[in-house]
């Protein structure tokens, strides 16, 4: 498969990339290329130019600042999966990154490219929604920060405007008594999420004091499962309590929004979603230390 023709510009700074995006209407940002290049080859997009941000210093790597973990947009899935900081502070994220594609894909694909593409079957959006991520978006007039709740707007649509670049994603560092996990029903061929469930729970005095559950894969943009979260409040996280709460997931899904395809219908996904929510909650509860 051959992509349509496009021009190519390599940016050496975020400011230069923002300027190039303004100079070239209908251009697209290229990082690792693992979301964009398949789209180009299928001719689902035909940008006039690609602005390659892949070599910009300072927007790659994982650091801790003021109680938050900051992940540069160019950080690869392999780096996220292997990060000790994320394994302890945001376990669900490193776990989900390690389930993306395969080792060669994880060596090249980046978190920024993944979430800016916002494929509903992607793994990271649900995890970032669950963990309360914030997204730093740079443009020619400066940088702004957007919450996960506002970042993912719909099917392959985010808050990043045409001339802006996602530069970093930050998460709260995990707190004591908190654990998180990601459970995924993988498509057997593509490994994309048919259903992805991310859960974070905090246990204090033997009962659940905070819970966050988000779903991806079966909805156009990740959604929080408030009904599940409410059902866990104040409960000891027993197998029975988790199963009962997980069964509330349907209350947080809009039947008209649930996605279906030839592999898994919307009705099927809705019917089994509670299984993956339960698995994510069970793993998260076991990690509350």
Partner 1 sequence: MTIPVSISVNGRRYDREVEPRLLLVHFIRDVLGLTGTKVGCDTSQCGSCTILLDGVSAKACTCLAVQADGASVTTIEGLAGDSELHPLQESFWNKHGLQCGYCTPGMILASHELLRCNSDPSAEEIRHGLEGNMCRCTGYQNIVRAVRDAAETIQGGTS
List of residues contacting partner 1 (CB under 8 A): 1-8, 10, 30, 33-34, 37-38, 40-41, 50, 52, 54, 101-105, 107-108, 189-191
Q: Which is nearer to partner 1, 121 or 258 (CB)?
A: 121
C-alpha atoms less than 13 angstroms from C-alpha of 182 in its C-beta half-sphere: 31
Picking from 125, 192, 162, the residue whose alpha carbon sits closest to that of residue 20 is 162
Q: Which contacts qualify for 157-164: CB closer than 8 Å, 24 or more apart? A: 157/118, 157/221, 158/115, 158/116, 158/118, 159/135, 160/116, 160/135, 161/137, 162/21, 163/18, 163/21, 163/22, 163/139, 164/18, 164/21, 164/137, 164/138, 164/139
Q: Which is nearer to partner 1, 152 or 185 (CB)?
A: 185
Q: Which is nearer to partner 1, 47 or 278 (CB)?
A: 47
Q: Which is nearer to partner 1, 37 or 272 (CB)?
A: 37
Q: How far is the CB of 219 from partner 1 (least distance, A)?
A: 24
Q: What single string gives the DSSP state of each residue in 151-217? A: HEEETTEES--TT-EEEEEEEEPP-TTEEEEEEEEE-TTT--EEEEEEEEEEEETTEEEEEEEEEES
Q: Which is nearer to partner 1, 8 or 263 (CB)?
A: 8
Q: How far is the CB of 7 from partner 1 (least distance, A)?
A: 5
Q: How far is the CB of 32 from partner 1 (least distance, A)?
A: 9
The residue written with tokens 């963990």 in the block is 131
Q: Which is nearer to partner 1, 7 or 161 (CB)?
A: 7
Q: How far is the CB of 273 from partner 1 (least distance, A)?
A: 25
Asked whether the beta carbons of 88 and 64 are under 8 A apart, the reply is no
- Planar angle of CA 40, 51, 114, nearest 5 degrees: 60
Q: How far is the CB of 105 from partner 1 (least distance, A)?
A: 6
Q: How far is the CB of 93 from partner 1 (least distance, A)?
A: 20
Q: How far is the CB of 178 from partner 1 (least distance, A)?
A: 28
**240 three-class SS:** helix
How far does Cα 158 stand from its chain's mean position? 12
Q: How far is the CB of 268 from partner 1 (least distance, A)?
A: 23
Q: Which is nearer to partner 1, 7 or 64 (CB)?
A: 7
CA distance 273 to 61: 33
Q: Which is nearer to partner 1, 108 or 247 (CB)?
A: 108
């Amino acid at each position: 498969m051959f992509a349509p023709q496009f021009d190519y510009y390599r940016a050496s700074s975020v400011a230069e990339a923002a300027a190039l995006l303004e100079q070239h209407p209908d251009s697209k940002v290229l990082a690792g290329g693992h979301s964009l290049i398949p789209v180009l080859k299928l001719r689902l997009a035909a940008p006039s130019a690609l602005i390659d941000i892949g070599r910009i210093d300072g927007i790659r790597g994982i650091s801790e600042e003021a109680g938050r973990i900051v992940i540069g947009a160019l950080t690869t899935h392999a780096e996220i999966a292997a990060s000790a900081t994320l394994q302890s502070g945001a376990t669900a994220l490193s776990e989900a990154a390690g389930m993306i594609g395969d080792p060669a894909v994880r060596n090249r694909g980046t978190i920024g490219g993944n979430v800016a593409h916002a494929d509903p079957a992607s793994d990271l959006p649900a995890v970032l929604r669950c963990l309360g991520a914030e997204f730093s978006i740079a443009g020619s007039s400066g940088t702004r920060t957007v919450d996960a709740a506002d970042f993912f707007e719909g099917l392959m649509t985010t808050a990043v405007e045409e001339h802006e670049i996602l530069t970093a994603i930050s998460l709260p560092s995990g707190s004591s008594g908190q654990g998180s996990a990601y459970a995924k029903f993988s498509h057997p061929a593509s490994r994309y999420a048919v259903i992805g469930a991310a859960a974070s729970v905090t246990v204090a005095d033997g009962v659940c004091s905070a819970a966050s559950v988000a779903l991806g894969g079966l909805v156009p943009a990740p959604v929080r499962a408030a009904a599940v979260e409410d059902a866990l409040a104040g409960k000891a996280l027993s197998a029975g309590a988790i199963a009962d709460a997980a069964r509330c997931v349907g209350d947080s899904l809009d039947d008209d929004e649930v996605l279906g395809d030839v592999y898994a219908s919307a009705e099927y996904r809705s019917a089994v979603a509670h299984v993956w929510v339960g698995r994510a909650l069970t793993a998260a509860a076991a990690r509350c230390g």
